[in-house]
Amino acid sequence: MSGLPGGVSKFITEEERETLVALAEGSVAFSEFTLQVFHDIVLKNKSYVDMITDPRWALRTYYMGLVNDKNQPDYYDGDVRVVGPDGKEFLKFKPKDYLKHIAEHVEPYSYCKYTYLKAIGWKASSTGPTRASTASRPSAASTSPTACRRPRPEPLEGDALHPGRRPCPHDLATHWARLIELLNASETLEALVQDKSIVSRDIRAPIGRPGEGVGIVEAARGTLIHHYVLDEQGMMKDANLIVATTNNHAAISLSIRNAAKAVIHKGDVSDGTLNTVEMAFRAYDPCFGCATHALPGELPLEVHLRGADGSVMGTLARDGLRRHPKEG
């Protein structure tokens, strides 16, 4: 890693730039190929489209993301824009003002906090939370990510599959959004490395005196908020991080609830329950796909079935359903 405050520690040589050009061109070709495969195999298959638009994986929320001054998607700069379930702008604020608009809530059953918009309050957010994911970015912006070299249609316009309506409530459309962003990132990389000024040796700006700063960027899994306070010697005095998983935690929980309600009826469960629950939360975060694997490749997921009184009625795991006698 060569990152330093104010820049980087190592400049790029011309030979390295030429290598990066070839890598970028290959990345663009791969992105275009992958999007075409998605169109041909998924979008032309009614059963797949019906699955993407299935109500069990549809959740209407507020949508958050970084935008530029034209309300186009941004990833490293700009303002935070929040769009309501109706597609209208609800909030727009500078990163430094995030504490005026975003608060965190703790529930005893989870180690992860829940974020919510102060203008809505926690109770309302628990039914209509805010998402800050790959799929929420084009919903929070006025357009989908645009390609650098050539115009692109906006396949996430509307309900992902129904042109003319925004925003997109479909959890499984997140995978489509990732492919669009992959192409956007590849073409952005291509444009950057083709610019020969990238080999400049002016690689670090003055950083000034230590103090307090807030940075908000878009990661692959969603919006990241970093807030640091340094003393006069540059030592950390305070830090507050709200990562993408936290921003999406309430929506993830509701998506899991909706998926479970669709497959669990009066205590009866099917073998597909675990897969359905997995599909609900994996759609939010590419990290979940790796972090939730265990050798020899199965997810050690357990679903506890509780009665109306909260007692555990059974546990569903990979080896089947284990019934428990009613407690109390």
What's the confidence (pLDDT) of residue 101?
96
Least confident of 105-109, 267-271, 321-325: 321-325
pLDDT in tens, 6-44: 899 999 999 999 999 999 999 999 999 998 898 889 888
More confident of the two residues 115 and 152: 115
pLDDT in tens, 161-190: 444 456 888 888 888 888 888 888 999 999
CB atoms closer than 10 angstroms to residue 319: 6
Report the share of the chain in percent with pLDDT over 90. 38
pLDDT in tens, 250-259: 999 998 888 8
Euclidean distance between CA atoms 150 and 239, whole angstroms: 41
List b or e across 38-51, with b for residues whose CB sees 16 or more CB atoms inside 10 angstroms: beeebeeeeeeeee
Report the share of the chain in percent with pLDDT over 70. 83
**Average pLDDT, integer, range 273-291:** 77
What's the confidence (pLDDT) of residue 268?
65
Euclidean distance between CA atoms 40 and 182, whole angstroms: 18
What's the confidence (pLDDT) of residue 103?
94
Whether residue 76 is predicted with pLDDT greater than 60 in this model: the reply is yes
Q: Closest by alpha carbon to 212, among 227, 225, 237, 229?
A: 229
The pTM (predicted TM-score) of the whole model is 0.85
Structural tokens at position 274: 């675990």
More confident of the two residues 153 and 42: 42
Name residue 190's amino acid: E
**Average pLDDT, integer, range 92-116:** 94
Sequence ranges of the domains in the chain: 14-92+134-194
pLDDT in tens, 37-67: 988 898 888 898 888 888 888 888 999 999 9
Whether residue 322 is predicted with pLDDT greater than 70 in this model: the reply is no
pLDDT in tens, 188-199: 999 999 999 999
Mean pLDDT of the chain: 83
